[in-house]
């Protein structure tokens, strides 16, 4: 097939890709995980198929809505919330989240994104919401009927979360009645699902006199709340819904606060602690797909009287790619297993292990995908070819939920604490 005639050309035939699952034999998993991964591997081609691959904002928004509905109907969004509120497993299970993200990323980046945001966007409700808030939001997330978002970053507060300036001023109810409300002012940027979300978990400074991580509280804000607007949609190299939000005297009932006042920073970090390892898993899925594409292309591409795969420099590249993937997988599932196996104990905090996994898996995936592009030659940079798409998909993962530089500092900080 002439790739110029069909820009969606893949090295492997569409729909025929099956993600390698040899790693399921590793001791990190139990039977539940193996069943989940096997079921999703079989369902993924249909779940992620039949999408419009144009990358306009409208098409990408529509694809995300479709994917959330499909993942919800098939029962996979249930892994994004705990069982008490419609979830599949008793607690948010790090290994299940990782296996789902890895498999979806292998097939379709937007499917991974849509699933991940259901968990990240509702994580603060699962971890710190009142029973009423959990019941109001989580079952809809689990069914794929409500789209979630996580609003932490600000124009002046990315890596430096403590520089957050969005304020949440408390106002007591008139006449000394119970309740009261918070009035939010400020802006949040780089918010995934911004523009299509039904609600946002927003972190804001409820004690304006405080500095850094102190005095921050978390709130769940419905997308249609007066005073909350989408100030700008942001287009990025691998398009997905992303926006800057503006809060202009946005009033919400005090009952929408998640956890205690002043506990918002802790809640944000606890949420990220769970989902950081799953970013590593998504990177792993992208890298596995790139390797499979590269192997298929190397076997098929005629060169110098043989095939590209016959050349030792090709073999060296493939050997290195496979090893980078396994190293990343071991760190990813070590972090996920450690958290799951130690829930409720001090070892549950896998800050260092999750940071090692996120840093290594995203950096390794970038190298693997870059080599896959190189092995494809000119076709590797042709719009719509799978490795070109993967090359764009992987880039942001080295930046969001803590850039690689930040992960190095986190690891060192934990190391210095312990010696
Ligand atoms: C595609 C995408 C989706 C996102 N989705 C969300 C979302 O849903 N919700 C949300 O709240 N945020 C989201 N973000 C924001 C993301 O978390 C931030 O981009 C990230 O935290 C980095 O912040 P920044 O962009 O302000 O970069 P900066 O903080 O300005 O960082 C710039 C550079 O400084 C480096 N750096 C940071 N600290 C140090 C240090 N101590 N020493 C040396 N160098 C350092 C960084 O590694 C980076 O290379 C998203 C971002 C992207 C790109």
pLDDT at 11 over 80: no
The C-alpha angle with vertex 57 and arms to 62 and 247, in degrees rounded to 5, equals 95
- In the reported structure, the alpha carbon of residue 350 is separated from the centroid of ligand 1 by a whole-number distance in angstroms of 21
The minimum-distance atom of ligand 1 relative to the CA of 193 is: 8
For the Cβ of 234 lying below 6 angstroms from any atom of ligand 1, the answer is no
Going 19 to 96 to 158 to 63, the CA torsion angle's sign is: positive
Q: Whose CA is nearest to atom 53 of ligand 1?
A: 396
The whole-model pTM stands at: 0.95
- Name the residues annotated as catalytic: 401
The minimum-distance atom of ligand 1 relative to the CA of 240 is: 1
Return the minimum-mean-pLDDT range out of 6-20, 47-61, 302-316. Answer: 6-20
Q: Which of 400, 404, 411 to mutate to test the pocket of ligand 1 (most atoms within 8 A of CB)?
A: 400
Contact 190, 399 (CB under 8 A): no
- Please write the tens of the pLDDT for every residue from 210-260: 889 999 999 999 999 999 999 999 999 999 999 999 999 999 999 999 999
142: nearest Cα among 56, 81, 212:
81
The minimum-distance atom of ligand 1 relative to the CA of 151 is: 11
Question: In degrees rounded to 5, what are phi and psi of residue 220?
Answer: -105, 125
pLDDT at 14 over 60: no
- Res 208: pLDDT: 86
Residue 170 CA from chain centroid, whole number: 32
Average pLDDT of the residues of the chain: 94
Tokens matching residue 230:
């989408």
For the Cβ of 153 lying below 6 angstroms from any atom of ligand 1, the answer is yes
């Amino acid at each position: 097939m002439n790739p110029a005639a069909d820009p969606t050309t893949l090295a492997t035939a569409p729909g025929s890709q099956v993600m390698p699952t040899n790693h399921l034999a590793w001791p990190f998993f139990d039977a539940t995980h193996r069943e989940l991964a096997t079921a999703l591997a079989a369902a993924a081609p249909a779940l992620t198929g039949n999408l419009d691959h144009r990358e306009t904002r409208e098409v990408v928004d529509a694809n995300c809505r479709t994917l959330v509905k499909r993942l919800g109907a098939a029962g996979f969004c249930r892994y994004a919330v705990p069982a008490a509120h419609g979830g599949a497993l008793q607690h948010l299970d790090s290994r299940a989240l990782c296996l789902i993200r890895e498999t979806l990323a292998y097939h379709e980046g937007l499917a991974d994104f849509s699933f991940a945001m259901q968990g990240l966007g509702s994580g603060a409700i699962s971890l710190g919401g009142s029973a009423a808030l959990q019941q109001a939001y989580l079952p809809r997330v689990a069914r794929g009927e409500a789209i979630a978002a996580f609003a932490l970053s600000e124009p002046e507060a990315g890596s430096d979360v403590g520089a957050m300036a969005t304020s949440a001023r408390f106002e007591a109810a008139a006449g000394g009645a119970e309740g009261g409300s918070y009035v939010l002012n400020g802006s949040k940027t780089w918010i995934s699902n911004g523009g299509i979300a039904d609600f946002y978990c927003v972190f804001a400074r409820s004690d304006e006199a405080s500095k850094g991580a102190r005095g921050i509280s978390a709130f769940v804000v419905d997308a249609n709340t007066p005073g909350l607007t989408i100030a700008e949609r942001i287009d990025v190299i691998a398009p997905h819904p992303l926006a800057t939000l503006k809060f202009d005297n946005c009033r919400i009932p005090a009952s929408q606060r998640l956890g205690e006042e002043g506990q918002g920073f802790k809640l944000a970090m606890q949420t990220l602690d769970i989902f950081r390892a799953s970013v590593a898993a998504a990177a792993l899925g992208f890298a596995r797909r790139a390797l499979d594409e590269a192997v298929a292309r190397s076997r098929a591409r005629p060169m110098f009287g043989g095939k590209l795969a016959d050349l030792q420099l090709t073999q060296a590249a493939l050997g290195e790619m496979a090893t980078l993937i396994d190293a990343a997988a071991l760190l990813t599932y070590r972090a996920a297993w450690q958290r799951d196996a130690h829930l409720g104990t001090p070892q549950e905090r896998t800050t260092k292990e999750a940071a090692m996994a996120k840093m290594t898996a995203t950096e390794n995936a970038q190298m693997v995908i870059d080599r896959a592009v190189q092995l494809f030659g000119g076709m590797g940079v042709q719009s719509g070819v799978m490795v070109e798409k993967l090359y764009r998909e992987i880039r942001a993962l080295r930046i969001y939920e803590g850039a690689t530089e930040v992960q190095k500092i986190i690891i060192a900080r934990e190391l210095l604490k312990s010696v």
